[in-house]
């Protein structure tokens, strides 16, 4: 018997409707799923089981207070289900900080992990996505943390994309090792002597969409700003293009010709298909899908959570950060 993936039915801007629909769609694909939330608020749940949880942590709620006080929230109960061996993994499109806090409090840290990090896949047209971490879990980092992020990111890239000898790069403001903040310079030196991956040196913001490395390591502040800049500029350009195509009948016809050719690009960069960010360093699998997740995004996230949990991601992570 396989365990189900616990889906936070109340997390995300489109919860519970799209989340429940996504969970059902995943179940129809043959993945065991259990919903977590207030049963009376969940409709059209079909055959899905529900782990009851009476409280909800909202998107903009203060994380520290929420995870301490709302012990019966859908997020805390989902994390608890993983801890108690009732679920294989958890998936939430809710408050990122609260998802992290719940996972950390209920599942606990892996032995030896200084701080868990959020790993986000950045797609490219060359190869499998680049794993960027930390994408926002830790606004302040040390070099020792960044070295662990490199180790965990490599294990994750191997588990998720089958990378055999993962390459790791460090995000900086120049390729030379002499450039960057004191943190980056110290981390650069430390990565040169760390085993388990191939450190390829520094990369810059402009390299991120070109698949320059399997893993790109940075502190959570820079990582979060960078990812949002990337998302924002791609969306800006897409919107501008759609605006131009919609201008008149002639441009609409031209758009009809070009759009099928742009489809592979749009598909590659579609956040709905990426499968969500992964919290690495806790004793369980926790996938955080973006706040505006539709049913389709939840299906991707559930699939990724299931595959990584059954593939032994947590064991691999535990091994690479094992205290010596």
Binding site for its own copies (CB under 8 A): 60, 62, 125, 136, 139-140, 171-173, 176, 178-182, 184, 204-210, 218, 220-222, 224-238, 240-241, 244-245, 247, 250-251, 253-255, 257-258, 261-262, 265
Least gap, CB of 306 to its own copies (angstroms)? 30
Least gap, CB of 194 to its own copies (angstroms)? 22
Token digits of residue 291:
């706040």
Q: C-alpha distances in angstroms, 23 versus 45, 278, 295?
A: 9, 18, 7
Least gap, CB of 146 to its own copies (angstroms)? 14
Residue in this structure with the two tokens 């909202």, named with its chain if needed: 58
Q: For the residues of 235-299, what is the DSSP string, one character each?
A: HHHHHHHHHHHTSSHHHHHHHHHHHHHHHHHHHHH-HHHH--EEEESBSSEEEE--TT--HHHHH
Least gap, CB of 297 to its own copies (angstroms)? 18
Least gap, CB of 204 to its own copies (angstroms)? 5
Q: Which is nearer to its own copies, 264 or 312 (CB)?
A: 264
- Alpha-carbon distance of 211 to 130, in angstroms, equals 6
Residue 153 contacts residue 167 (beta carbons within 8 Å): no
Least gap, CB of 131 to its own copies (angstroms)? 16
Q: Which is nearer to its own copies, 159 or 169 (CB)?
A: 169
Q: Which is nearer to its own copies, 33 or 212 (CB)?
A: 212
Residue 276 contacts residue 302 (beta carbons within 8 Å): no
Q: Which is nearer to its own copies, 125 or 144 (CB)?
A: 125
Rounded to a whole number of angstroms, the distance between the first and last alpha carbons of the chain is: 36
- Alpha-carbon distance of 150 to 147, in angstroms, equals 5
Q: Which is nearer to its own copies, 2 or 229 (CB)?
A: 229
- Alpha-carbon distance of 5 to 16, in angstroms, equals 16
Q: Which is nearer to its own copies, 29 or 258 (CB)?
A: 258
Residue 2 per-residue DSSP state: P
Neighbouring C-beta atoms of residue 147, cutoff 10 Å? 21
Pairing between strand 49-52 and 130-133? Answer: unpaired
Least gap, CB of 231 to its own copies (angstroms)? 6
54: nearest Cα among 33, 77, 84: 77
- Alpha-carbon distance of 19 to 294, in angstroms, equals 7
Least gap, CB of 251 to its own copies (angstroms)? 6
Least gap, CB of 257 to its own copies (angstroms)? 4
Pairing between strand 277-280 and 117-122? Answer: antiparallel
Q: Which is nearer to its own copies, 42 or 132 (CB)?
A: 132
Q: Which is nearer to its own copies, 41 or 200 (CB)?
A: 200
Q: Which is nearer to its own copies, 88 or 132 (CB)?
A: 132
Residue in this structure with the two tokens 């958890």, named with its chain if needed: 90
């Amino acid at each position: 018997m396989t365990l189900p993936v616990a889906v936070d039915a109340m997390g995300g801007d489109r919860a519970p409707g799209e989340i429940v629909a996504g969970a059902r769609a995943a179940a129809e694909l043959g993945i065991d799923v259990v919903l977590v939330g207030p049963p009376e608020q969940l409709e059209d749940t079909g055959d899905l089981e529900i782990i009851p949880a009476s409280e909800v942590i909202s998107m903009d709620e203060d994380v520290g207070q929420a995870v301490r006080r709302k012990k019966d929230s859908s997020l805390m109960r989902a994390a608890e289900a993983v801890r108690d061996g009732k679920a294989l993994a958890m998936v939430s499109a809710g408050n990122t900080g609260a998802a992290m806090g719940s996972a950390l409090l209920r599942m606990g840290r892996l032995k030896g992990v200084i701080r868990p990090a959020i790993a986000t896949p950045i797609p490219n047209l060359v190869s499998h996505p680049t794993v960027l971490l930390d994408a926002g879990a830790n606004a302040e980092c040390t070099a020792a943390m960044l070295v662990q992020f490199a180790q965990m990111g490599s294990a994750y890239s191997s588990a998720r994309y089958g990378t055999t000898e993962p390459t790791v790069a460090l995000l900086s403001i120049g390729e030379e090792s002499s450039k960057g903040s004191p943190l980056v310079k110290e981390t650069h030196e430390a990565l040169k002597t760390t085993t388990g991956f191939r450190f390829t040196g520094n990369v810059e913001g402009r390299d991120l969409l070109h698949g320059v490395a399997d893993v790109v390591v940075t502190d959570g502040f820079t990582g979060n700003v960078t990812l949002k800049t990337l998302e924002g500029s791609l969306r800006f350009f897409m919107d501008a293009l759609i605006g131009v195509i919609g201008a008149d009948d002639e441009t609409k016809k031209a758009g009809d010709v070009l759009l099928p050719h742009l489809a592979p690009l749009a598909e590659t960069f579609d956040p709905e298909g990426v499968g969500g960010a992964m919290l690495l360093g806790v004793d369980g699998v926790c996938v955080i899908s973006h706040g505006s997740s539709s049913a389709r995004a939840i299906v991707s996230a559930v699939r990724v959570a299931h595959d990584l949990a059954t593939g032994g991601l947590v064991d691999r992570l535990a091994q690479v950060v094992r205290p010596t």
